[in-house]
Structure 1
C-alpha cells in the first residue's frame, strides 16, 4: 500500500492559477471617492480615478503579478490601491487558503495587518516584525506588526504586496523606487549672505512679465481677460523666489533668530518634512483668496521624476531678513518619506488663473515651472536601508527558538542513536521520556509553533506540479528544521523519531493515556484483526487529501481539519465549538484507546510511514526466541507494532524504546532470565 500511494502522490496533476478578477468584481472593492478606470493590461492592473474622473493611481491584484504560494500551495490574492506618488491608499483581501486564517484565527487578524499599509510609500523599506538589535533605530525601515502564530503567512502576504507593487511601479511609475532621500545636515555650518545664496543657485527666481503672461494665454478664450497685463506689459506678474531652508545653515541666512527658532521647533515635531520658503513680489501672490491655511496651496505644486510631490502649508507666521525680496511669503513643507529628495532635480509649478465671463465665468490656467535642486553639501545621504531577504528576516525573528533547537535536537539524536540502549535501560527512563514529551508540547508546540501538518507536504506537491517556487518554506524556519530532522529520522529509524518524540499532539495523546491510567479508566485493547484494518485508514485519508488538493484545492483547508493539530497546538483550543470538540474527542478517547488518532487516523503519520521506506536498517535488536516462544515484547507494545513472529513493523513503530528496554533487561527478557537460571529456551514444535 505504501509504494502504491507514493506513486499516486507523484503522478497526480494539479490545477493552474485562476484568471484575474473581472471588472465588476474589482469594482466591488473600490470605495468612494475613488472609482475604477479602464484596464491597463491583462494582468489585473486597472487605472484608479478620483471623484472628478482624473487619474489617481492604479488598482491591481497581487496573485497574477506575484503568485507567491502560501502554505496551502496557492497564492494569497490581495487588491492594492496605489496613488500616483507611490503611496498605498488601501490593501484589501480578495482570497486565500492559509490554514491558520481559514478556520484557526479567522481572517480578522490578517485584515488588521493589511490596514497598516495605508499611507505608507513604496520608497520606505518595510519589514514584518520588530527592530533587531540596538542599531535598528534611524535606518529608515518601517516595521509592520505581524500576527502571532501566523508570522510565516503574513510574511508571504507582505512579499506578495511588495513584489506586485514594485512590478507596477517600474512599468507605470518610473522613478518612484530609489535610494533613501537626503536629509539636512544639522551640524553643517556656513556663513552665507543673500547674494551668495543667489549666486550659488540656492535661492532661485522665476520672473514672468505681464507680456509673457499674455503670450502664454495667446490664442485662448482668456487672451484678453487681464486688463492690467495689457496696460503694463513690462510689469512683473510673477517674481517668485524659492529656497530650501531645511539645512540650518541656509535657514540662518534668510530668517531672523525668532523665525529660525520657530522653524526648528516645527521640524522637531515634523522631522521628516522638508521646509521650502517661497516669496512672490509680483501680482500672482502665491495662493488664491479662497486658500485655507495648513492645506495644500491651490496655485502651487511640484513634481519630481515626473511624479507629483505633495506640498502643504506649514502654517507659520514669520518674518524674513531685510536683505531678502519683500512680498508674499510662505513656508511650504513636503514629506521626504513619500520619496521627495531635496538634492535631486525637481520643479515647482506655479499655476495662474484667468476668468472669462461675468455670471458663470469659465476658468483657464497656464503653469510656469521653476527647476530646483538643493546643493548636496548641506545634506547627508543616509545609507540605503538594506532589506534582507525574507528567509533571513524569518531566521532573525526565530533566532532564539532556532538556537535552542539546534542545541537540543542533536542531543536527542545522540540519545536515540549511540545512546539508545543506555537511555532505554535507565531506571528513570519513563520519567525522562515524559519530560522530553512535556518540552515537545510546551516549547516546540505551543511556544515555537513547530507542529508539523499534512498541509505543508500537500502544498509542496501542488507547488512542484505547478512549477512554482518553494521559497515559501523558508518563511517558517522552525518547522523546516523539524522537517529536516524528521527526514533524517526516516533513514535512521523510520517514522518513529517524529511520531514518537517530536510531534506535540502525539505527546498530548501520550499524556492523555497516562492520565487515563492514573484515573483507572478502562483500557480498550483493539482486537488484532481490527487493529490491522484500522491502521490502513490513515492511508486512505491521506489519499483523499491528495485528491482534494488536486481536484478541489479550495477545500483543502476544510478537509485538513481531520488533523486536530491546529486546534490543540496552534490556537491553544481558542476556536469554535466544533473543532474544539473534535480535538477533545481524540484526547479524551486517548485516555482509553492508546494514541488512537496517531495509530489509525493521522494522515501525517501515514506520510511519515511512507518516508520510513528510506530506512536503511533494522535498528531494534531481536533474538531467535523473539516471537517463538517469547511474546513479551509483543504483548507490551501498546502500538501493536510487533508481529506474532517477533519481527518489528517499522511502519507502525513509534520508537518508544519499551522493547529495547525489555531486550536488554536480564530481569525482564524471558530468554535472558532463563539463561541466567541455566535453562535453555526450547522453541515449540513447528516454530521457526
Structure 2
C-alpha cells in the first residue's frame, strides 16, 4: 500500500498544473492573420477581434471557438480553432489551434485534421454545412454542402465542425445582423394570376431603362472616347438602350411574356436546374445586350448584377426565345437573352438588386483602346410571387453518425444480442459443446476483425477520463453520441456489470484482449515455454493496474493536457485503431505486449490495463455468483484453480470475479463428468454401491 501511495503522490506532484489551458492572446493570434488583412481591436469579452483590411477599415472578425463554444472533445478538452470571417459571413480561413484528440495527437497525426478544417475556406455561414456524404450516396441535390470527414476520426471532426458553426453563428448574431443568413427565395407555385403585358407594366413587374444617344455621349464627355460614336452624334435623340427586364421565375409573369414554345423550353430547363433564377432581357435600342464576341451559354460580357453589394453570377441559359403573341410588335424583333443565376448563391429577386449594362466604345483604328460607362437599373419583383422555404437544416450530428454506420450498428446489435443471450441462458450448453474452443476463437476473431479493426469499437480509458473531466467541469456529454458504435458496446458492458462483472467485456468483447489470446495460442503452436509469476507475485502484479488508473485520474485533474500522452499506456490505438502504422516506438511497445503474451498469458490485460481496472471496479455491481461451485471445490479439488490461466480462482475454490475473464473453462470442467474430480469420485462411489 505504501508503494501505491508513493507512486500516486509522485504523479500528482509531477503533473500538477492548471486544470484548463488558456486560449491564445492577441500576440499569439496575430501571426495567423495574413496580409492584406490585419488584426484590429478586441470587440467583446469572448475574444472576438476586428479584422481590418489594408486600408484599416473593418472587414470582418477574428475569433477562437473555445471561448464561444467550449464543446468537449473525446479527451474531455474543447477543440480550439481560429476563425477568420469576412463582413459578408464567408470563411476567409479556419486554423486548428489546440486540441487533445487522441486519434490525431498520437495516431493519425495532425495533417488530416488540418486538411479537414481547410475545407471551410470560401463557404458562407448561410450555407448549411455537414460532415460526411449525402444520405443514400450520390449528390443530395439540395442546399447542403458536404465536407469530407477523416476516416477513423469522424467523431472528432464532427465535434470540431459543431464548434466552428456554434462559435461563428454566435459572432454573426451579435456583430453581423445585416448579413443575410436566410434561405433562398423560390417562386410560389400557388400564385396563379392571369396577367398581360400591360398589367406587368402597370404593376411595376417589368424593369425598364431607356438611354438616348445623347445620354451616352454625355457619359463619355471629357474622356478619351468623347465623340467616338458617329451614330450617337448624328442622331442624339435615338434610342441607345431601351431595356426591359422580366423575372421569369413566377409562372404568371412568364405566361404573360413568352410563347408556348418558349414556355415549354423554359419548363424543361427548370426541371433540370431547379435552383436557377431565369431573367429575360429585351433591348429595343441599338445596344444589343452582348458584344459580337459573345459565346452562348457563357457569362455575358456587357451585363453584370449585384445584390447587397455582392456580385450576382449571371450566365446565358441558351434558350431560343419567342414572345407571346400579345406582346408589342416593336419588341418581337428586339435583341433578347434569357440569363440565369443560382438561388442557392443568395440571389433573391424579391429583394432589391441592381442590373448594370456596359456602354462600350473604342478609340483608335489599330489596337483601339476600349472605354466603358455603366448603365444601372434598380429592380425588385413583388414579394407576393415568392416564398422562402424552411432553412435546410443539417440533422443532429448523432443522427448523421447513426445513418453513416447503420449497417455496422445492426450487425453489432445482433451479434451482441446473440452473445448475451447465449451467456445468460445457454452458458452451460456452450461450455459443454465439444467444439467450444473453436467457437470461442471464432467469436474472438469477429471481435478483433469486425468490432476492432473494421468497426473501430475498441473501448479505451480515454473515454472514461473524458467523462470524469466533463463531470468535474459540468460540461455536456453530447460528444459520446458522435461514436454510436462504441457507445453501444459501452451500454452493453455497463449492463453486463450487473450480470457477470468485468468478464463479459474483458473475456469476449475487447479486440486487444482477443489479439492477446491469439498471441497465446501462437505461443503454444510454436511450443514456447510458459513464464507465469508465482501466486504471491501474481497477486502483487494485479494491483499495478489500479496504480496506473489512479495516476491517470490524477492527470485529469492536475494536467489535463497530458491525458492523451498518459493514455498511451494502452497499446490499443497502435494495434487496433491505426493497424500498427505509427512511430516505431509505439509499434515496439504494442509488439512487446503481444510477444510477452506468447509466454505469459494476457500479461497486459491481467496486470497493467487501466481500462481493466475500471471494469473490475464496475464489476462490483455484479448481483449474483453466476459460476456454480461445489463444496469439494478447493478442498480437496484444485483442478479448476490449476487450469485457470487468469488466476481468478482462490485457494478455497471461490471465484475472484474482479479477475475473472469469463473464459468458461471452469464451467466446462465443473459440468464434465470426465474432468470434474467430485463428479468422478461420486460416479465411482455410485458404481461401487450398485455393485454391492
Normalising by the smaller structure, the TM-score range is 0.7 to 0.9
For structure 1, list consecutive stretches of 5 or more residues without a partner in the other structure: 210-225, 227-233, 288-292, 353-364, 681-688
Task: Tell me whether 417-426 or 133-142 shows the greater mean CA deviation.
Answer: 133-142
Determine which of 34, 37, 41 is the counterpart of 1:38.
41
Q: Relative to 1, partners in 2 of residues 1:188 and 1:351: Cα closer, same or farther, differing over 3 Å?
A: closer
Give yes or no for the alignment of 1:310 onto 2:284: no
What residue number does 1:437 align with? 444
Q: Is the 8 A contact 2:207 2:244 kept in 1?
A: yes
Deviations 1:223-261 (A, max 9, x none): xxx9xxxxxxx9999998654345687578778999999
Give the structure 2 partner of residue 370 of structure 1: 378
Instruction: Confirm or deny: 8 A CA contact 2:19 2:557 kept in the other structure.
Output: no
For 2:365, the equivalent position in structure 1 comes to none
| 1:578 alignment partner, SS class | helix
- Distance between the aligned counterparts of 1:309 and 1:329, measured in 2? 25
Query: Which stretch shows the higher mean deviation, 330-339 or 183-192?
Result: 183-192
Once residues 206 and 17 of structure 1 are traced to their aligned partners in structure 2, the CA distance between those partners, rounded to angstroms, is 63
Count, aligned residues:
640
**What's the CA shift for 1:91?**
1.8
Q: Aligned pair 1:108/2:116, yes or no? A: no
1:97 to 82, 85, 100: 100
Partner SS for 2:59: strand
Deviation for aligned residue 1:381: 5.4
Q: Distance in 2 between matches of 1:547 and 1:113?
A: 33
Aligned with 2:352 (options 338, 343, 346): 346
Which residue pairs with 1:458 in the alignment?
465
Residues 95, 114 of structure 2: 8 Å contact kept: yes
Q: 1:143 aligns with which of 146, 168, 179?
A: 146
1:171 matched to 2:174? The reply is yes
Identify the residue that residue 510 of structure 1 maps to in structure 2: 517
Check the 8 A contact 1:310/1:335 in 2, yes or no.
Answer: no
Separation (CA, whole Å) in 2 of partners of 1:52 and 1:32: 11
248-257 or 153-162: bigger deviation: 248-257
Offset of 1:508 from its aligned partner?
Answer: 0.3
Within-5 A mapping of 1:169-568 = 169-174=172-177, 176=179, 179-183=182-186, 194-205=197-208, 242-246=245-249, 272=275, 274=277, 302-303=306-307, 307-312=308-313, 314=315, 323=330, 335-342=342-349, 344-348=350-354, 370=378, 372-374=380-382, 377=385, 382=389, 384-568=391-575
Which range moved further: 546-555 or 314-323? 314-323
- What is the match of residue 617 of structure 2? 610
Q: How far apart are the structure 1 equivalents of 2:168 and 2:300?
A: 27
Cα distance in 2 between the residues matched to 1:432 and 1:662: 17
Conservation of the 8 A alpha-carbon contact between 1:16 and 1:466: no
Q: Is the 8 A contact 1:121 1:338 kept in 2?
A: no
Report the TM-score when normalising by structure 1: 0.80
Structure 1 residues 106 and 531: alpha-carbon distance in aligned structure 2, compared to 1, 3 A threshold: same
Secondary structure of 2:67's aligned partner: coil
Measured after TM superposition, the shift of residue 618 of structure 1 is 1.7
Q: CA deviation at 1:156?
A: 0.8
Does the 8 Å CA contact 2:321/2:337 hold for their aligned counterparts? no
User: What is the aligned counterpart of 2:577 among 570, 578, 587?
Assistant: 570
Matched, 1:676 2:683: yes
Q: Deviation digits for residues 136-161 of structure 1, max 9, x if unmatched?
A: 73332222221111111111111111
Match status 1:71 vs 2:68: no
- Once the two structures are TM-superposed, the CA of residue 555 in structure 1 deviates from its matched residue by 1.4
Matched residue, 1:157? 160
1:327 positional shift: 11
Q: CA deviation at 1:649?
A: 1.3
TM-score, normalised to structure 2's length?
0.80
| Matched residue SS, 2:40 | strand
- 1:131 has 2:134 as partner: yes
Whether the 8 Å CA contact 1:58–1:83 is kept in 2: the answer is yes
Deviation at 1:39, TM superposition (A): 2.3
Name the residue aligned to 1:359.
Answer: none
RMSD over aligned CA atoms reads 4.5
Provide the C-alpha distance between the structure 2 equivalents of 1:261 and 1:308, rounded to a whole number of angstroms: 34
1:14, 1:465 within 8 Å by CA — same for their partners in 2? no
**Equivalent residue for 1:685?**
none
Deviation at 1:332, TM superposition (A): 7.3
> Which piece of structure 1 moves more, 143-152 or 503-512?
143-152
| Contact in 1 for aligned 2:73/2:156 (Cα 8 Å) | yes
Local SS of the residue matching 1:91: strand
Query: Helix, strand or coil: the match of 1:677?
Result: helix
Gaps of 5+ in 2: 10-14, 213-225, 227-236, 291-295, 324-328, 359-372, 688-692
